[in-house]
A and B are shown apart, each in its own frame.
Chain A
């Protein structure tokens, strides 16, 4: 019976939250709920893909997903590098890494996003080719920075969860520190890290709502466009709809994370 507790929580949460949001909608709109729902259905393609007739892809909610995936890629790489710095035995590496981690972790995402908007140049010239840095790219960088700190912590936590005996025996075999990490410790730590990495991704995904300030065509900025064109009476409905979109993407990740965590706890 215990094995299906997450599945039950998942079904319960999905149905429960959907009903709750619908109830909110009915409470706000009363008899005109049908009209509002119809209006939302008409606007769905725009909010989901950024084009009114599903012809193209990459705006609206899909932009949030794409931004979160790109940012996660950056976070994965930089987080591991910073994490290696955090567990380094050399203070000259460890102290700056830990300082950087604390700074990134304690700063508001919005401030970093704004700072990146102004800090990153409009265009860069690499090997004679000029690349244009779009606001979306700046948003991706701005979002990756604070999450990199989370990722580094996850990496450090995972590595530290591996018993020190593994380190000692690998050293006895003549491996160097980075070799031990690469061949012995990290392969064992990855399964332990997966739930936390997923939580980090969910946090990042939820944070993509902030890119609205950079001028990217994400779901929130399109929601504002729709409100401006269709009228204020849609505002509450549209925000309920956006809440629902984020929820059905993030909630399965959260439930899956809990399930994995429980499996890991049981197996150790």
Chain B
């Protein structure tokens, strides 16, 4: 079997791949932000034992964690396109649908990995030493201030290893975007394969690019972990 990467010299293909990488990075970045927001809010609901919200969050987290992200994506895609909200673009005056495939993918990535993040952050909050919290309470901090200034900063640092896995999982899951026709890396890969029939070579290249993106994310998180480390606290 011979691999032929000659097609890579074609500027059109290069442009497609770059555009695909851009979309994948954007999807992942927005997904990570949404994931963190959902994770922190959900973990806060569980942590403060808010009356109704605790039950709702538990149910939704169990549902999202135990079902395939792909089915969730399809479900959101159909549900949201049925609701069919649209925005008016101020520049062109045209009506654009609010929930495009892109938004659906970001939402579904944020929800699925957010549900995992809820559990991760909750266990991070539980791992904060009791003495530290008691110390903060004796200094007169309110429950919310303790959460904001003590538990969350320390808890989030403690979650970094588990969160790294979650971020990598999110980047990997983002390749599903192609199945709702979002022009991500995977989408352009299939386009290129349709044109040059170099299926295997394209797939190998895409494989390598995804691994590079994931490795890059792991390195960045490692840097963040090193930069935010508090010496002497074990976090």
Contacts and interface: CB of A to CB of B under 8 A. Distances in A.
Interface of A: 12-13, 16-17, 20-21, 28, 103, 105-112, 114-115, 117-119, 202, 206-210, 212-213, 220, 232, 235-236, 239-240, 242-243, 246-247, 250-251, 254
B63 A119 contact: no
A114 B75 CA distance: 23
A106 B168 contact: yes
Nearest to A213: B179
Given A28-B82, A110-B178, A118 B66 contact: no
Most buried by A among B70, B178, B203: B70
Nearest to A110: B175
A135 to B, nearest CB: 14
B74 A220 contact: yes
A108 B175 contact: yes
A254 B66 contact: yes
B85 interface: no
B145 interface: no
A208 B70 CA distance: 10
Contacts of A115: 200, 203-204, 207
A20 B203 contact: no
Contact of A106 (B55, B62, B211): B211
Contacts of B186: 108, 110-111
Given A110-B176, A111-B175, A115-B207, A246 B55 contact: no
Contacts of A110: 175-176, 178, 186
A207 B203 contact: no
A246 B62 contact: no
Interface residues of B, number: 39
B234 to A, nearest CB: 21
B72 interface: yes
Contacts of A13: 58-59, 62
Given A108-B186, A236-B78, A236-B79, 9 more contacts: A20-B59, A106-B172, A108-B172, A110-B175, A118-B203, A235-B78, A239-B79, A246-B67, A250-B66
Contacts of B70: 209-210, 212, 220
Nearest to A64: B68
Contacts of A232: 78
6 contacts: A28-B82, A106-B172, A115-B204, A206-B68, A209-B70, A210-B70
Most buried by A among B82, B172, B199: B172
A236 B200 CA distance: 35
B63 A239 contact: no
Interface in B176-228: 176, 178-179, 186, 199-200, 203-204, 206-207, 210-211, 214-215
Contacts of B210: 106-108, 111
A106 B210 CA distance: 8
Given A103-B211, A119-B200, A246 B68 contact: yes
A88 B214 CA distance: 26
Contact of B172 (A109, A202, A209): A109
Contacts of A243: 63, 67, 71-72, 75
Given A16-B58, A107-B211, A251 B66 contact: yes
B75 A236 contact: yes
A243 B58 CA distance: 17
Given A13-B59, A107-B207, A111-B207, A242 B71 contact: yes
B65 interface: yes
Given A17-B59, A246-B66, A112 B207 contact: yes
A108 B173 contact: yes
Contacts of A209: 68, 70-71
A198 B52 CA distance: 31
Contacts of B171: 108
A220 B71 contact: yes
Contacts of B206: 111
A29 to B, nearest CB: 10
A17 B176 contact: no
